[in-house]
Amino acid sequence: MGVKQVALADNITAVRSKVNEALTVAGRHPEELTLVAVTKYVDAQTIKELIAHGVEHIGENRLQEAVRKQTVLGDLKNSFKWHFIGSLQTNKARQVAAGFDLIHSLDRLSLAEALHKASRMLEKEIPVLIQVNVTGERTKHGVAPAEVGAFYAAVRKLPGLRPVGLMTMAPDTEDPETSRPVFRELRRLFAQVKRDYHPGPHWRELSMGMSNDYGVAIEEGATMVRIGSAIFSAGTEG
């Protein structure tokens, strides 16, 4: 337990310093970046420990497990903003909309419509990121790059939803440079929506970069990085 806590503190410190380094390289301000700690590997007790380390954003990819952890946390769950980053079944739309602050994985119109309906029932606007399958890998979810504009336009017609940006997952790779063109393409698509549809100031998030490539993602304009193993692995990193 003690050892694990030390590793957690060390890992978070290492991640933060690498984040700051990448921001400096890119000439960007720290306020432009949200660090989302992906807690899918750990239990509610470990999430609780994150409060002391100043972590404010939590990412989970499975609804049932996330809800279980939130229940264990009780009121402490309000210490965090909750990000839903996993693939989302349409029949779970309402539960996810109720329990999370931002959904990163809007990837099809039927889901947008279900979330819109949920927003009516919950009487709240639901912020979403459109997930893009930049590389076209069959195993990955997301809207095709060529369809992002039209998809955005369709989502915007649903007043219960507030599309705030784009999200992508780069291919699994050891070399972070492999991800760079993927992140660049996402940023280009983001700018294209801005140019073609004038979405206004809410259109501002690029969720890209995980443990192995967040430095590159920040250099390429990420506003949200989703980091799991670099924070929660047993050995110290960096």
Ligand X SMILES: *Cc1c(COP(=O)(O)O)cnc(C)c1O
**Are 218 and 181 in contact, with CB atoms under 8 Å apart?**
no
Q: Does 85 bind ligand X (CB under 6 A)?
A: yes
Q: Does 131 bind ligand X (CB under 6 A)?
A: no
Report the residue number, 77 or 104, with the smaller CB distance to ligand X: 104
Using CB atoms, what's the residue nearest to ligand X?
228
Identify the residue among 37, 210, 218, 222 touching ligand X (CB under 6 A).
Answer: 210
Report the residue number, 160 or 228, with the smaller CB distance to ligand X: 228
Report the residue number, 107 or 219, with the smaller CB distance to ligand X: 107
d(CA 183, CA 205): 13
Q: Does 226 bind ligand X (CB under 6 A)?
A: yes
Report the residue number, 158 or 164, with the smaller CB distance to ligand X: 164
Q: Does 223 bind ligand X (CB under 6 A)?
A: no
Identify the residue among 205, 211, 216, 218 touching ligand X (CB under 6 A).
Answer: 211
Q: Does 178 bind ligand X (CB under 6 A)?
A: no
Which residues are at the interface with ligand X (CB under 6 A)? 38, 40, 61, 85-86, 169, 210-211, 226-230
